[in-house]
Amino acid sequence: MNCLADFSKLKIEKILKEEFSQPSYRAGQLYKNVTRFNSYDEMSDLPLSLRDKLKEKYFDRALDVEKYLVSTDGTVKYLYKLNDGNVIEGAFMTQSYGNTLCVSTQVGCRMGCAFCASGIGGLVRNLTAGEILSQVLCVNRLQGGTAEKRAVTNIVLMGSGEPLDNYDEVTEFLRLVSSPEGLNVSERNISLSTCGLVENVRRLADDGFTVTLTFSLHASNDDFRRSIMPIANRYTIKEIVDAAKYYFSKTGRRVIFEYTMIKGVNINHFDAKRLSELLKGFPCHVNLIPLNPVEEKNLQGCSGAEAERFLKKLHEFGLSASIRKSKGADVGGACGQLRRSYIGQGK
Protein backbone atom coordinates (compact mmCIF):
# COMPACT_ATOMS: atom_id res chain seq x y z
CA MET A 1 0.00 0.00 0.00
CA ASN A 2 1.34 3.43 -0.96
CA CYS A 3 1.67 6.29 1.50
CA LEU A 4 0.30 9.73 0.64
CA ALA A 5 3.81 11.20 0.55
CA ASP A 6 4.53 9.12 -2.56
CA PHE A 7 2.39 11.52 -4.57
CA SER A 8 2.70 15.05 -5.93
CA LYS A 9 -0.13 17.51 -5.29
CA LEU A 10 -1.31 17.01 -8.86
CA LYS A 11 -1.46 13.25 -8.41
CA ILE A 12 -3.32 13.66 -5.10
CA GLU A 13 -5.85 15.86 -6.88
CA LYS A 14 -6.34 13.12 -9.48
CA ILE A 15 -6.72 10.41 -6.82
CA LEU A 16 -9.23 12.46 -4.83
CA LYS A 17 -11.25 13.17 -7.95
CA GLU A 18 -11.18 9.70 -9.55
CA GLU A 19 -11.25 7.44 -6.49
CA PHE A 20 -13.17 9.56 -3.95
CA SER A 21 -15.20 12.00 -6.13
CA GLN A 22 -13.80 14.99 -4.26
CA PRO A 23 -13.56 18.59 -5.51
CA SER A 24 -10.09 19.90 -6.42
CA TYR A 25 -9.74 22.20 -3.38
CA ARG A 26 -9.51 19.12 -1.17
CA ALA A 27 -6.14 18.32 -2.78
CA GLY A 28 -4.64 21.52 -1.36
CA GLN A 29 -5.93 20.65 2.12
CA LEU A 30 -4.71 17.08 1.98
CA TYR A 31 -1.32 17.97 0.51
CA LYS A 32 -0.74 20.55 3.26
CA ASN A 33 -1.44 17.86 5.86
CA VAL A 34 0.97 15.47 4.16
CA THR A 35 3.69 18.15 4.09
CA ARG A 36 3.13 18.73 7.82
CA PHE A 37 3.52 14.97 8.44
CA ASN A 38 0.03 14.89 9.98
CA SER A 39 -1.71 11.64 10.82
CA TYR A 40 -5.28 11.07 9.63
CA ASP A 41 -6.45 11.92 13.17
CA GLU A 42 -4.80 15.32 12.88
CA MET A 43 -6.33 16.17 9.48
CA SER A 44 -9.30 17.87 11.12
CA ASP A 45 -9.97 20.11 8.10
CA LEU A 46 -11.00 17.02 6.11
CA PRO A 47 -14.35 15.25 6.66
CA LEU A 48 -14.06 12.16 8.86
CA SER A 49 -15.84 10.06 6.24
CA LEU A 50 -13.19 10.95 3.63
CA ARG A 51 -10.35 10.19 6.05
CA ASP A 52 -11.90 6.79 6.81
CA LYS A 53 -12.07 5.97 3.11
CA LEU A 54 -8.50 7.17 2.49
CA LYS A 55 -7.26 5.01 5.37
CA GLU A 56 -8.40 1.88 3.56
CA LYS A 57 -6.19 2.60 0.53
CA TYR A 58 -3.27 4.77 1.63
CA PHE A 59 -1.02 5.10 4.66
CA ASP A 60 -1.06 8.63 6.13
CA ARG A 61 2.62 8.28 7.10
CA ALA A 62 5.37 6.07 5.72
CA LEU A 63 7.32 5.74 8.94
CA ASP A 64 7.62 6.53 12.61
CA VAL A 65 10.62 7.20 14.81
CA GLU A 66 11.47 3.98 16.66
CA LYS A 67 14.41 5.35 18.57
CA TYR A 68 16.67 8.40 18.63
CA LEU A 69 20.03 9.22 20.17
CA VAL A 70 21.45 12.69 20.79
CA SER A 71 25.21 13.15 20.45
CA THR A 72 27.29 15.45 22.63
CA ASP A 73 27.84 17.60 19.49
CA GLY A 74 24.06 18.01 19.04
CA THR A 75 23.68 15.52 16.18
CA VAL A 76 20.47 13.52 16.49
CA LYS A 77 20.56 9.99 15.12
CA TYR A 78 17.13 8.63 14.18
CA LEU A 79 16.06 5.06 13.68
CA TYR A 80 12.78 4.94 11.73
CA LYS A 81 10.42 2.01 11.45
CA LEU A 82 8.69 1.62 8.08
CA ASN A 83 5.15 0.31 7.71
CA ASP A 84 6.44 -3.17 6.74
CA GLY A 85 8.58 -3.38 9.90
CA ASN A 86 11.93 -2.68 8.22
CA VAL A 87 14.15 -0.09 9.86
CA ILE A 88 16.32 2.64 8.34
CA GLU A 89 18.32 5.44 9.88
CA GLY A 90 19.25 9.06 9.44
CA ALA A 91 21.09 11.89 11.18
CA PHE A 92 20.15 15.53 11.82
CA MET A 93 23.14 17.82 12.12
CA THR A 94 23.20 21.50 13.00
CA GLN A 95 25.81 23.65 11.29
CA SER A 96 26.55 27.35 11.05
CA TYR A 97 25.02 27.54 7.55
CA GLY A 98 21.87 25.54 8.34
CA ASN A 99 20.58 22.17 9.46
CA THR A 100 21.34 19.09 7.43
CA LEU A 101 19.39 15.86 7.37
CA CYS A 102 21.10 12.73 6.11
CA VAL A 103 18.51 10.41 4.52
CA SER A 104 18.50 6.76 3.46
CA THR A 105 17.40 5.63 0.02
CA GLN A 106 17.34 1.84 0.46
CA VAL A 107 16.89 -0.69 3.26
CA GLY A 108 20.43 -2.07 3.33
CA CYS A 109 22.62 -1.78 0.26
CA ARG A 110 24.01 -4.20 -2.27
CA MET A 111 27.27 -2.35 -2.95
CA GLY A 112 29.11 -4.05 -0.08
CA CYS A 113 31.78 -1.40 0.64
CA ALA A 114 34.19 -2.78 3.24
CA PHE A 115 34.16 0.30 5.47
CA CYS A 116 30.36 0.63 5.69
CA ALA A 117 27.90 -1.08 8.02
CA SER A 118 24.93 -0.48 5.68
CA GLY A 119 26.19 -2.97 3.14
CA ILE A 120 26.46 -5.83 5.65
CA GLY A 121 23.53 -8.13 4.95
CA GLY A 122 22.99 -6.78 1.44
CA LEU A 123 20.02 -4.99 -0.06
CA VAL A 124 16.63 -5.67 1.53
CA ARG A 125 14.60 -3.37 -0.71
CA ASN A 126 14.41 0.03 -2.36
CA LEU A 127 12.61 2.84 -0.56
CA THR A 128 9.79 4.59 -2.36
CA ALA A 129 9.98 8.32 -3.07
CA GLY A 130 7.45 8.89 -0.27
CA GLU A 131 9.50 6.89 2.22
CA ILE A 132 12.56 9.01 1.43
CA LEU A 133 10.51 12.21 1.59
CA SER A 134 8.87 11.14 4.86
CA GLN A 135 12.26 11.12 6.63
CA VAL A 136 12.50 14.84 5.81
CA LEU A 137 8.86 15.60 6.67
CA CYS A 138 9.12 13.72 9.96
CA VAL A 139 12.34 15.34 11.21
CA ASN A 140 11.30 18.78 9.96
CA ARG A 141 8.22 18.48 12.17
CA LEU A 142 10.09 17.00 15.17
CA GLN A 143 12.62 19.83 15.00
CA GLY A 144 9.85 22.44 15.04
CA GLY A 145 9.88 23.31 11.33
CA THR A 146 7.02 24.00 8.97
CA ALA A 147 6.80 24.06 5.17
CA GLU A 148 7.21 27.84 5.27
CA LYS A 149 10.02 27.92 7.82
CA ARG A 150 11.92 24.69 7.51
CA ALA A 151 14.04 23.26 10.31
CA VAL A 152 15.70 21.01 7.74
CA THR A 153 17.46 23.37 5.34
CA ASN A 154 19.87 20.97 3.65
CA ILE A 155 19.56 17.34 2.64
CA VAL A 156 22.27 14.80 1.96
CA LEU A 157 21.43 11.45 0.36
CA MET A 158 24.16 9.72 2.23
CA GLY A 159 22.40 7.32 4.60
CA SER A 160 22.00 3.65 3.86
CA GLY A 161 21.67 2.71 0.22
CA GLU A 162 23.22 3.72 -3.08
CA PRO A 163 20.88 6.47 -4.37
CA LEU A 164 21.64 5.85 -8.04
CA ASP A 165 20.84 2.14 -7.60
CA ASN A 166 17.26 3.31 -6.90
CA TYR A 167 17.17 5.87 -9.68
CA ASP A 168 13.43 6.24 -10.36
CA GLU A 169 12.34 6.64 -6.73
CA VAL A 170 15.25 8.89 -5.81
CA THR A 171 14.67 11.25 -8.74
CA GLU A 172 10.95 11.32 -7.93
CA PHE A 173 11.91 12.23 -4.35
CA LEU A 174 14.05 15.10 -5.71
CA ARG A 175 11.05 16.37 -7.67
CA LEU A 176 8.74 16.10 -4.65
CA VAL A 177 11.04 17.68 -2.08
CA SER A 178 11.96 20.60 -4.35
CA SER A 179 8.36 21.26 -5.38
CA PRO A 180 7.17 24.77 -4.42
CA GLU A 181 3.91 23.16 -3.27
CA GLY A 182 5.82 20.96 -0.83
CA LEU A 183 8.94 21.73 1.18
CA ASN A 184 10.51 23.68 -1.69
CA VAL A 185 14.10 22.65 -0.93
CA SER A 186 16.36 24.00 -3.65
CA GLU A 187 18.48 21.39 -5.44
CA ARG A 188 21.44 23.60 -4.52
CA ASN A 189 20.87 22.51 -0.93
CA ILE A 190 20.74 18.81 -1.76
CA SER A 191 23.78 16.54 -2.07
CA LEU A 192 23.69 13.06 -3.50
CA SER A 193 26.47 10.66 -2.65
CA THR A 194 27.24 7.83 -5.05
CA CYS A 195 29.88 5.13 -5.23
CA GLY A 196 29.97 5.96 -8.95
CA LEU A 197 27.31 4.26 -11.06
CA VAL A 198 28.55 6.08 -14.13
CA GLU A 199 25.60 5.47 -16.47
CA ASN A 200 23.19 6.93 -13.93
CA VAL A 201 25.49 9.87 -13.18
CA ARG A 202 25.25 10.79 -16.85
CA ARG A 203 21.51 10.11 -16.85
CA LEU A 204 21.03 12.43 -13.86
CA ALA A 205 22.73 15.24 -15.76
CA ASP A 206 20.76 14.46 -18.94
CA ASP A 207 17.50 14.45 -16.95
CA GLY A 208 18.24 18.02 -15.84
CA PHE A 209 18.97 17.54 -12.14
CA THR A 210 21.48 19.92 -10.56
CA VAL A 211 22.08 18.51 -7.08
CA THR A 212 25.62 18.50 -5.73
CA LEU A 213 27.21 15.16 -6.58
CA THR A 214 29.58 13.52 -4.19
CA PHE A 215 31.62 10.54 -5.37
CA SER A 216 32.83 7.95 -2.86
CA LEU A 217 36.31 7.44 -4.22
CA HIS A 218 38.35 6.29 -1.19
CA ALA A 219 41.26 5.05 -3.29
CA SER A 220 43.81 6.48 -5.69
CA ASN A 221 44.22 3.27 -7.70
CA ASP A 222 41.85 0.64 -9.05
CA ASP A 223 43.52 -2.35 -7.38
CA PHE A 224 43.05 -1.01 -3.88
CA ARG A 225 39.57 0.32 -4.70
CA ARG A 226 38.54 -3.16 -5.84
CA SER A 227 39.64 -4.55 -2.46
CA ILE A 228 37.31 -2.24 -0.48
CA MET A 229 34.53 -1.49 -3.01
CA PRO A 230 33.15 -4.32 -5.16
CA ILE A 231 31.66 -1.74 -7.56
CA ALA A 232 35.25 -1.00 -8.64
CA ASN A 233 35.13 -4.28 -10.56
CA ARG A 234 32.57 -2.60 -12.81
CA TYR A 235 33.95 0.91 -13.18
CA THR A 236 37.50 2.23 -13.10
CA ILE A 237 38.42 5.40 -11.28
CA LYS A 238 39.07 7.03 -14.66
CA GLU A 239 35.52 6.20 -15.82
CA ILE A 240 34.14 7.73 -12.62
CA VAL A 241 36.17 10.91 -13.02
CA ASP A 242 35.04 11.13 -16.67
CA ALA A 243 31.40 10.83 -15.56
CA ALA A 244 32.02 13.52 -12.91
CA LYS A 245 33.44 15.78 -15.61
CA TYR A 246 30.39 15.14 -17.78
CA TYR A 247 28.09 16.05 -14.86
CA PHE A 248 30.05 19.26 -14.31
CA SER A 249 29.97 20.16 -18.00
CA LYS A 250 26.17 19.73 -18.14
CA THR A 251 25.24 21.32 -14.80
CA GLY A 252 28.08 23.68 -13.89
CA ARG A 253 28.00 22.15 -10.39
CA ARG A 254 31.34 21.50 -8.77
CA VAL A 255 31.57 17.89 -7.66
CA ILE A 256 33.09 16.48 -4.51
CA PHE A 257 35.24 13.39 -4.11
CA GLU A 258 34.98 11.69 -0.74
CA TYR A 259 38.09 9.93 0.49
CA THR A 260 37.95 7.90 3.69
CA MET A 261 41.36 7.84 5.31
CA ILE A 262 42.34 4.34 6.42
CA LYS A 263 45.32 3.93 8.67
CA GLY A 264 48.42 2.60 6.90
CA VAL A 265 46.48 1.92 3.71
CA ASN A 266 45.53 4.84 1.45
CA ILE A 267 47.13 8.02 2.81
CA ASN A 268 50.74 7.93 1.68
CA HIS A 269 52.72 10.20 -0.65
CA PHE A 270 51.91 8.12 -3.75
CA ASP A 271 48.16 8.25 -3.04
CA ALA A 272 48.33 12.05 -2.91
CA LYS A 273 50.38 12.13 -6.14
CA ARG A 274 47.99 9.80 -8.01
CA LEU A 275 44.96 11.80 -6.83
CA SER A 276 46.49 15.01 -8.06
CA GLU A 277 47.26 13.44 -11.46
CA LEU A 278 43.65 12.27 -11.72
CA LEU A 279 41.99 15.50 -10.63
CA LYS A 280 44.35 18.32 -11.52
CA GLY A 281 42.69 21.08 -13.51
CA PHE A 282 39.18 19.80 -12.75
CA PRO A 283 37.28 22.24 -10.50
CA CYS A 284 36.39 19.78 -7.76
CA HIS A 285 36.94 19.34 -4.04
CA VAL A 286 38.32 16.41 -2.06
CA ASN A 287 36.61 15.71 1.25
CA LEU A 288 38.84 13.69 3.55
CA ILE A 289 36.91 11.62 6.07
CA PRO A 290 38.40 9.99 9.13
CA LEU A 291 37.23 6.36 9.08
CA ASN A 292 34.52 5.58 11.61
CA PRO A 293 35.58 2.13 12.85
CA VAL A 294 33.18 -0.66 11.85
CA GLU A 295 33.53 -3.51 14.34
CA GLU A 296 32.76 -6.23 11.78
CA LYS A 297 35.67 -5.12 9.55
CA ASN A 298 39.34 -4.90 10.36
CA LEU A 299 39.98 -1.35 9.19
CA GLN A 300 41.28 1.44 11.40
CA GLY A 301 41.02 5.20 11.24
CA CYS A 302 44.15 7.34 11.16
CA SER A 303 45.30 9.82 13.80
CA GLY A 304 44.63 13.56 13.54
CA ALA A 305 48.30 14.18 12.74
CA GLU A 306 48.28 11.59 9.92
CA ALA A 307 45.13 13.17 8.47
CA GLU A 308 46.71 16.64 8.57
CA ARG A 309 49.85 15.32 6.86
CA PHE A 310 47.80 13.81 4.02
CA LEU A 311 45.80 17.01 3.65
CA LYS A 312 49.01 19.05 3.42
CA LYS A 313 50.30 16.76 0.67
CA LEU A 314 47.13 17.20 -1.37
CA HIS A 315 47.43 20.98 -1.02
CA GLU A 316 51.07 20.81 -2.11
CA PHE A 317 49.93 18.92 -5.21
CA GLY A 318 47.48 21.75 -5.91
CA LEU A 319 44.19 20.07 -4.99
CA SER A 320 41.30 21.74 -3.17
CA ALA A 321 40.76 19.54 -0.11
CA SER A 322 39.60 19.65 3.49
CA ILE A 323 39.01 17.26 6.37
CA ARG A 324 35.36 16.63 7.16
CA LYS A 325 34.58 16.77 10.82
CA SER A 326 32.96 13.53 11.86
CA LYS A 327 29.60 14.24 13.51
CA GLY A 328 27.72 12.08 15.97
CA ALA A 329 30.51 9.50 16.36
CA ASP A 330 29.47 8.79 19.97
CA VAL A 331 25.97 7.76 18.83
CA GLY A 332 26.98 5.64 15.83
CA GLY A 333 27.17 8.55 13.38
CA ALA A 334 28.47 6.44 10.53
CA CYS A 335 26.00 5.11 8.02
CA GLY A 336 24.35 1.84 9.04
CA GLN A 337 25.72 1.53 12.57
CA LEU A 338 22.51 2.26 14.49
CA ARG A 339 20.46 -0.06 12.29
CA ARG A 340 23.05 -2.83 12.67
CA SER A 341 23.03 -2.61 16.46
CA TYR A 342 19.21 -2.55 16.47
CA ILE A 343 18.94 -5.62 14.23
CA GLY A 344 21.72 -7.32 16.23
CA GLN A 345 19.62 -7.00 19.38
CA GLY A 346 16.93 -8.95 17.60
CA LYS A 347 14.41 -6.09 17.81
Known catalytic residues? 89, 335
Residues with Cβ within 8 Å of residue 106, at least 6 apart in sequence: 123, 124, 125, 126, 127, 160, 161, 162, 165, 166
Residue number, 3 or 132, with CB nearest to ligand SF4: 132
By three-state DSSP, how is residue 60 classified?
Answer: coil
Residues with Cβ within 8 Å of residue 307, at least 6 apart in sequence: 261, 267, 288, 290, 323
H or E stretch including 16? helix 9-20
Q: What is the chain's length? A: 347
Residue number, 297 or 315, with CB nearest to ligand SF4: 297
Contact residues: ligand SF4, CB under 6 A: 109, 111-113, 116, 118-119, 160-162, 195, 216, 335
Least Cβ distance, residue 251 to ligand SF4 (angstroms)? 22
Least Cβ distance, residue 312 to ligand SF4 (angstroms)? 27
Residue number, 4 or 334, with CB nearest to ligand SF4: 334
CA dist., res. 192 & res. 102, Å (int): 10
Least Cβ distance, residue 228 to ligand SF4 (angstroms)? 9
Least Cβ distance, residue 65 to ligand SF4 (angstroms)? 21
Residue number, 3 or 117, with CB nearest to ligand SF4: 117
Residues with Cβ within 8 Å of residue 51, at least 6 apart in sequence: 40, 43
Contact 114, 224 (CB under 8 A): no
